[in-house]
Amino acid sequence: MEAGESIQQIDLAEYPHIISVQEFRPTERIKEPYTVEEVKGKLYQFAYRQETSNKLQIAMNAVLGVMVAVTAFILWYLGKKVIRPFDNIRELPIELSKGNLTVPIPEEKSKYFGRFLWGMDMLREKLEDDKARELSLLKERKTLILSLSHDVKTPLSAIDLYTKALKNNLYQEEEKRIEAMEGIEKNAAEIKEYVNAIVHASRNEIMSFKVQNGEVYLRSILDEIKTYYQEKLKLNRTDFTIQKTENCLVHGDKDRIVEVLQNIMENAIKYGDGNRISITVDEEENCKLILVENTGCQLKEEELPQLFDSFYRGSNSANIAGSGLGLYICKELMHQMDGEIFAKISGGSFGVTLVLKKV
């Protein structure tokens, strides 16, 4: 400011950053930033505008733009990769709770939800398979109970006839009376077998196979079978032999292996001609093969594939009590012990082979 020039004569156009100049009054407040300067012994208040650097403003705008773009991308990504996959399966829990296990789950290539959706689909399929299996078992159990209930009528009728004959003294000879009483005893045993099977099925245990796999000595299995059947078959005048074999460890559950062999032995006694039953042991590809063979086979070759089906009874089972589940249960048990079972017909003899893995 030149000499003699008052503060009011200053041309503010020459100072673009200054907004106004006025005497400083401490009690007065203004919105704009200001500075107080002394001019010729007086305090003046210079209000001015703050200007931001163009480069700084551009940088701030650029950062803001990038933040907006990143936010938009994150929202889009979350919508595509998170929200949409969940939206695709939002009805799945409701459908599963209703028992609708056939509803498909759309595939998703997302690395985050692809495996999750795959797992959900596997769960749905598992529930569907379990439901189908449960319905199948329920149907089979009902069929079995009806079949066994019907089969009870035959021995029951025989007992009724024997009882009436004895009551009315139709058998004058002692031998005939003894024969009638033996007939009653035999048919009563059949009824007991049927009743046990019905109770077993009613308890929902007909298809329940609990196996505890481990290591078991082969000779201990064969010794148990020998102890159980040797005297019994001797009384029946049946030639019974068990091949001597080296002792070795096999994989499986001893009780279940013995159960399978007992089932096969009972079939050999029931359906064979009673002349000969033999057990032989062979080895093939690190497995032990136990063959139970009996004479007097009346089965046809074409029946072999169905022998291990549930409720299947062969052409040789006429007038012989049974449920058609024995060999089916044997197959299920052998599979749970990582083994196998198959049947063959050779030279009028019928044989069943168990395959057990050596340890």
pLDDT at 5 over 60: no
Other beta carbons within 10 angstroms of residue 215's beta carbon come to 10
Asked if the model's pLDDT at residue 249 lies above 90, the reply is: yes
What phi and psi values does residue 168 have, to the nearest 5 degrees? -90, 10
Q: In what order do the strands lie in the sheet with 239-242?
A: 239-242, 276-284, 287-295, 349-357, 340-346
Instruction: Please give the pLDDT value at position 334.
Output: 92
Residue 319 has pLDDT above 70, yes or no: no
13 within some domain: yes
Whether 298 is covered by a domain: the verdict is yes
Residue 221 has pLDDT above 60, yes or no: yes
Token duo for residue 327: 């060999």
Q: Count the domains in the chain.
A: 2
Q: Residue 295 belongs to what domain range? A: 214-357
Could you tell me the end-to-end alpha-carbon distance of the chain, in angstroms, rounded to an integer? 111
Q: Are 117 and 89 in contact (CB under 8 A)?
A: yes
**Which has the higher per-residue pLDDT, 199 or 209?**
199
pLDDT at site 159: 87
Tokens of 161: 């006839």
Highest mean pLDDT among 27-41, 88-102, 310-324: 27-41
Grouping H, G, I as helix, E, B as strand and the rest as coil, residue 283 is: strand
pLDDT at 343: 92
pLDDT higher than threshold 80 for residue 325: no
278 falls within a domain: yes
Residue 249 DSSP symbol: E
> What share of the chain has pLDDT > 70, as a percent?
76
Residue 353 domain flag = yes
Q: What percent of the chain has pLDDT over 90?
A: 22
Both tokens of 6, joined, read: 């008052």
The Cα 303–Cα 299 span in angstroms is 7
Query: Is pLDDT above 70 for 291?
Result: yes
Q: Report the phi/psi class of residue 348: left, alpha or beta, with left for phi > 0 and alpha for psi in -120 to 50.
A: left
Examine residue 125 and state whether it is found in any structural domain, yes or no: no
pLDDT of residue 7: 65
Query: Do residues 340 and 330 touch, judged by C-beta distance below 8 A?
Result: no
- The three-state (H, E, C) secondary structure of 144-206, written as one string: HHHHHHHHCHHHHHHHHHHHHHHHCCCCCCHHHHHHHHHHHHHHHHHHHHHHHHHHHHHCCCC
208 lies in some domain: no
Burial class from Cβ neighbours inside 10 Å (0-12, 13-18, 19+) for residue 196 reads: exposed
Bridge partners (DSSP) of residue 276 are 239
Task: Determine how many CB atoms are found less than 10 A away from the CB of residue 307.
Answer: 22
| Residue 127: count of CB within 10 angstroms of its CB | 13
What distance in Å separates the CA atoms of residue 355 and residue 287, rounded to the nearest whole number?
6
Between helices 254-271 and 218-235, what is the axis angle to 10°? 30
Average confidence (pLDDT) over 147-175: 78
Q: How far apart are CA 341 and CA 286, in angstroms?
A: 16
Listed in sequence order, the residues at least 6 apart from 272 whose beta carbon sits closer than 8 Å to its beta carbon are 294, 295, 296, 297, 350
The domain that holds 318 is classified in CATH as 3.30.565.10
Q: Which residues contact 167 (CB under 8 A, 6 or more apart)?
A: none
